[in-house]
Structures are given as structure tokens and as C-alpha cells.
């Protein structure tokens, strides 16, 4: 079974530029998450989708971050414009469903973003 | 508000020695608790999870964790560490109902020969 795929793996941009990350979850997984992991910290949930609907985006900086999962499968996270403090690893995860908390989250390898 | 504290930023153990990584949580109700491992350049992998029942939980790769409600702790243990266990370990708590996972800051494990 293929795991969660993310691209690109690395991205370097200058501040005020735009960037987009792509995630393809495990086939059949209804729930998709985007996390931000700043160096030295644990991952922080940015947004959670159930199929193509948003379940939780309370920690997403909506003035600059946006995410979509139009067909309920793959997802794109965008930052526009980027700030220095956005430098982090962006992790995507998926799980079968979110009816209960017993569903395991499977994480992709992440995209390391450096903002100069 | 829910929170997770991992008091040790990094720990060094000798190969073959026992390991205990500490985790304390703050949550009003019965928590759902997790330990994840993150190897360099890889995503997080679930080691084990606790929802209810037996307070000693067995996981993959020979790890176990014990839930102690009185101490609000969920420490991770392994009787004999292998060099391949060198990685970063994250404790996490999940809010019931909201299903939001809150991670600790992590503990980096170094294994010396």
C-alpha cells in the first residue's frame, strides 16, 4: 500500500513570494490533515478535511494560508505571501475516517520550506 | 486548554541500555494519548496509543508506555535500545470530540555505541 505522498520535498523562496505544497493521501482515506512543524517544536495542526469539507481550520493563518481538497482526494496548501516565520516542515497526514479517535494518522515525509 | 510537556529536549543512552522518555499532559477528561517517532527526513510513525483499559500499552519496535492518571503522565519505555532507535520522539494528546491532536515539543534520542 502506497503511503502519503508529498511534493516538493524541499522549497526555498524569498519572503513575500508565494508557494504551494501538494499532498496525495493513502487511497480511501477520508480525512486529511496539514501540520506545520517549526524547528524544535512538535507539529501543529493547521487544517483538517473530512472528504472535501473543512472540519477544523482554527489555527490556519487565513490572511496568508489557504488549503483546498476539491475532489476529496489530494490537497494543496498555499502560502501567499510568505514570511520568514513560515520556515518550517509542512506535514500532510491522512486517516481512514474521523468518526472516532481510534483511526491512526499516517504521515507523509513532509516539505521543508525555507523563507529567506 | 490541553497541553503536552516533554521535559527532556534530548537524551543520550548507550546501546543495549534501557530507555524511558517522559511525557506529562494537561487535560480535564480522560485523554487519548500517543507516542510517535520521527526519523531524519521521514514523517511521523505511530508507536503506540492509549484510549482506555489496561494502563500498560504495548507498541511496535519493542516500545511500551504506561498511563498514570494520578501523575498525568504517559512515559515511553524500552528495555534495550538499538542504534536504529536514534530519532525524535513525540508524545501527543487528542481532544475527545474535537479529534485534534496536540503534540509535545519532542525528545531527541541519541544512542552511543
Q: Which helix (H) or strand (E) holds A21?
A: strand A19-24
Look at residues B11, B15, B12 and name the one whose alpha carbon lies nearest to residue B23. Answer: B11
Query: Across all residues in chain B, what is the average pLDDT?
Result: 92
Look at residues A2, A40, A7 and name the one whose alpha carbon lies nearest to residue A110. Answer: A7
Look at residues B68, B65, B90 and name the one whose alpha carbon lies nearest to residue B76. Answer: B65
3-state SS class at A64: coil
Give residue A13's pLDDT. Answer: 97
pLDDT at residue B42 greater than cutoff 90: no
Task: Report yes or no: B100 and B1 within 8 Å, Cβ to Cβ.
Answer: no
pLDDT: is A72 or A1 the higher one? A72
For B52-105, give the DSSP string: SS-SEEE-GGG-EEEEEGGGTEEEEEESS--GGG-EEEEEEEE-TTT--EEE--
Nearest Cβ partner for A108 among B43, B103, B106: B43
Task: Please count the residue pairs, one from chain A and one from chain B, whose beta carbons lie less than 8 angstroms apart.
Answer: 51
pLDDT digits (tens, 9 = 90+) for B57-100: 999 999 999 999 999 999 999 999 999 999 999 999 987 666 78
The answer, for B53 touching chain A at a CB cutoff of 8 Å, is no
Query: Across all residues in chain A, what is the average pLDDT?
Result: 92
pLDDT: is B10 or A101 the higher one? B10
What distance separates the 2 farthest-apart alpha carbons in chain A? Answer: 41
pLDDT at residue A56 greater than cutoff 70: yes
pLDDT at residue A101 greater than cutoff 60: no
Nearest Cβ partner for B43 among A42, A48, A109: A109
Amino acid at each position: 500500500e502506497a503511503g502519503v505522498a508529498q511534493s516538493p520535498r524541499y522549497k526555498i523562496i524569498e519572503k513575500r513570494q508565494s508557494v504551494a505544497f501538494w499532498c496525495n493521501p493513502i487511497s480511501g482515506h477520508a480525512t486529511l490533515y496539514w501540520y506545520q512543524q517549526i524547528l524544535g517544536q512538535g507539529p501543529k495542526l493547521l487544517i483538517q478535511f473530512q472528504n472535501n469539507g473543512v472540519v477544523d481550520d482554527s489555527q490556519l493563518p487565513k490572511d496568508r494560508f489557504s488549503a483546498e481538497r476539491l475532489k476529496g482526494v489530494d490537497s494543496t496548501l498555499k502560502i501567499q505571501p510568505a514570511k520568514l516565520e513560515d520556515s518550517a516542515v509542512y506535514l500532510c497526514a491522512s486517516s481512514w475516517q474521523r468518526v472516532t479517535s481510534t483511526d491512526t494518522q499516517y504521515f507523509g515525509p513532509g516539505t521543508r520550506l525555507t523563507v529567506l | 486548554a490541553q497541553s503536552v510537556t516533554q521535559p527532556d529536549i534530548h537524551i543520550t543512552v548507550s546501546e543495549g541500555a534501557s530507555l524511558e522518555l517522559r511525557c506529562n499532559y494537561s487535560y480535564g477528561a480522560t485523554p487519548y494519548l500517543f507516542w510517535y517517532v520521527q526519523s531524519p527526513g521521514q514523517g511521523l510513525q505511530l508507536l503506540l496509543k492509549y484510549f482506555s483499559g489496561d494502563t500498560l500499552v504495548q507498541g511496535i519496535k519493542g516500545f511500551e508506555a504506561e498511563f498514570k492518571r494520578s501523575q498525568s503522565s504517559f512515559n515511553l519505555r524500552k528495555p534495550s535500545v538499538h542504534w536504529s532507535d536514534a530519532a525524535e520522539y513525540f508524545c501527543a494528546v487528542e481532544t475527545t470530540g474535537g479529534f485534534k491532536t496536540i503534540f509535545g515539543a519532542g525528545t531527541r534520542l541519541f544512542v552511543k555505541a
